[in-house]
Amino acid sequence: MKVKPRFLIIGLVVLSLVAAFAVFAASAFAAPAPNAIKLSWNDSYSGKGLELKADTSARTDASGDKIASNAQSADFPGLYFRWDDKQKDDGVLLVSSDVFSWFKDGKFVITAKNSNNYWDYQITEASGVKVDTINGQAIYAYQIPKQFQVLDNKGKAQTESLKNINMVFISGNWRTYTVDIQKVWLDRDGNPTTKPAFASATFTNGYALGKTTVRLYANDTYPVNFTENAVNRHDFVSVSVNGDVSHHNNVDLTAQEGKTYTIVFTNRCNDATLNIVKNWNLNGLYDELPAGLAATFTNGYVVGDNQTLPAGTEVNFSENPNDWSDIVLIGGIQYKVTTELQSITVNGHRVSQVDFTADKYRNYTVVFTNKLVATKLLPDPSYTVNKVWLDADGITPVDPSDYPGLTQATFNGGTILAGDTVTAQPFDQISVSEDPLNWTNTYSDSDFTYTEYFILVATDVNGNPVDSVDFAAEDGTDYVITFTNQLQIDAVPNTTPPETTIAEGKIPSTQHYDRWWNDYGVLCYAGNTTHVTGEERDYFVAFADGFWDNYSEVSIGFGTKNNILFTMTFTKDGLLDDSVPGGVIPYEAYTIPLSWGSHYSNGAFLGTALDGVWFADPFNNGAGAEQAWFMELTK
């Protein structure tokens, strides 16, 4: 068998070297990529290369640039390696003539790996076989044998057989130059500054900040060509190459081997600044700005100096409403002081609203001026207290002078008399109540002794019923406060009721009273003697002195002959009621509300009653027992 150790090793080495070189270029060297033709395989290339001599390599690992078999790296377009018949036969390395210009002395090394052994092969243009010419470049072939012989340490020949080798390594003394990219940042005023946190510096074609060694591919005239990508919130100012300044951001130069190129990019911040100023026109109302007049704005803007705005920012905001107010005296007259927007200016130009797009490098000063405005308050509020007196029917007005000894009504707040008008201050709290009215009047006839007195039954403010008078006065508003008192009459019989048992009886239909005592010492009093369909009427019940000497408990039924509407039970201590603590409501007089006209037009509740004390309905003109209200007393 013919041994072709050198070519096989070289082919494997070249393949591994090309791949390793691709990795090395990406990690340790900057762009550009090689300037060589891209090779492809032609079957006519097989078997045309000369076997190369293998030398033991100093390499101990598989790191570095590599080229995979049956392919070529984009980083090494002038190199191609192929195993014949899927690694069953020798390999072939193809090299474009321009590749030799990448290395000093026009030579490089490829390395093949077999088990843990590495074998080096020097590749030179002279050692190859020219197999083709493409675009003016010669293509050289190198045969790498599958098997080759080497001498061991005793001088004995040994056969190496490369198996499953899928790459070769490439290395050499590269021709290089150095690119040192630097960056200068200027603030918006053009002064040098540190790199802003929001700024970045990136470049095209794989270049980056710092000093980088670059392989000189193909020939000495391959250009260094790159630009800086757009920098956030900064504008390009200039770029210099070894001190030669250009105001175009494109770097385009011919690199020479061993030279260092210092490239400096300068950028300037293009932000705008915004300063919001707040002025106050006091209009002579104050010597200094009152407390509480804070100014706030929409969209997060605040009063302050030189707020940074990226160029192109839409500036749109307004002042929030100021609800501050104050009361001042001018010439003894009260005025309410409020704020009012007087003007807005942007860089001295008056505008109706703040709405603009920030330009590069611009300073914007926005001034809001508010003025204080004094408005005369309306006349001071006042209130008048009136007094209405009603008869016992709750409807008929009476003249208090017709009741001997009845004094004028007085109210709190310094003895305000009815009819007096009182001036208040704006926002004062008006609180008025009636002083106790202790007047009573007593008179008698042959049967009863009567006691008259007045009680407060209603209170209103400007015609609106209220439970109590307690409100804040508004500017320029007059208030009429009305208290209504109604006459009350209690009747007590002059004689002690007879000690008799309860028997059937009624008041003759010819007798019509607003109030009466029946024969058994029970007072019945109709609270309103005017018939108005649909209204409620109150009936009062009281008991004469000595009544409880004859009775311990009395049930009184309310209704008509045919129906007892409801029953109430009384004792000497009061009305029996399980819904209250102790079950007894102390009584002076008991009010029984009866709904007038709720069932029939005559207001009677039809029903039956065999025994009771009957009395004529004061609203039915004594129509008789069929339509008479009655009391049924049960001992």
In the numeric block, which tokens belong to residue 51?
């076997």
Interstrand relation of 416-417 and 410-411 (parallel, antiparallel or unpaired): antiparallel
- Asked if 174 contacts 82 with a C-beta cutoff of 8 angstroms, the reply is no
Measured CA to CA, the distance from residue 123 to residue 119 in angstroms comes to 13
What pTM value is reported for the model?
0.51
Q: Where are the alpha helices (DSSP H) in 150-309?
A: none
- Asked if 33 contacts 217 with a C-beta cutoff of 8 angstroms, the reply is yes
Where the chain has pLDDT below 70, the residues are: 1-28, 30-32, 71-72, 84-88, 163-166, 218-221, 332, 413-418, 426-427, 495-548, 550-551, 556-567, 580-582, 585-635
In the numeric block, which tokens belong to residue 181?
């990219």
Measured CA to CA, the distance from residue 432 to residue 608 in angstroms comes to 51
Q: Fill in the DSSP letter of residue 401.
A: G
What's the pLDDT score for residue 387?
A: 87
- Scored b (16 or more CB within 10 A) or e, 472-505 reads ebeeeeebebbbbbbbbebbbbeeebeeeebeee
In the numeric block, which tokens belong to residue 477?
């508003």
pLDDT, tens digit (0-9, with 9 covering 90-100), for 255-311? 888 999 999 999 999 999 999 999 999 999 999 999 888 899 999 999 988 899 999
Measured CA to CA, the distance from residue 7 to residue 162 in angstroms comes to 11
pLDDT, tens digit (0-9, with 9 covering 90-100), for 543-600? 565 666 766 777 766 554 445 556 677 777 777 777 766 677 665 444 444 433 322 2
The vertex-365 CA angle with 359 and 371, nearest 5°, equals 145
Measured CA to CA, the distance from residue 84 to residue 238 in angstroms comes to 55
Q: Nearest to residue 237, comparing CAs of 359, 361, 358, 357? A: 361
What's the pLDDT score for residue 15?
A: 37
Report how far apart, in Å, the C-alpha atoms of 277 and of each of 26, 284, 295, 345 are. 55, 21, 10, 10
Q: Fill in the DSSP letter of residue 230.
A: P
Residues 6+ apart with CB under 8 A from 526: 514, 515, 537, 539, 618, 619
Measured CA to CA, the distance from residue 589 to residue 126 in angstroms comes to 141
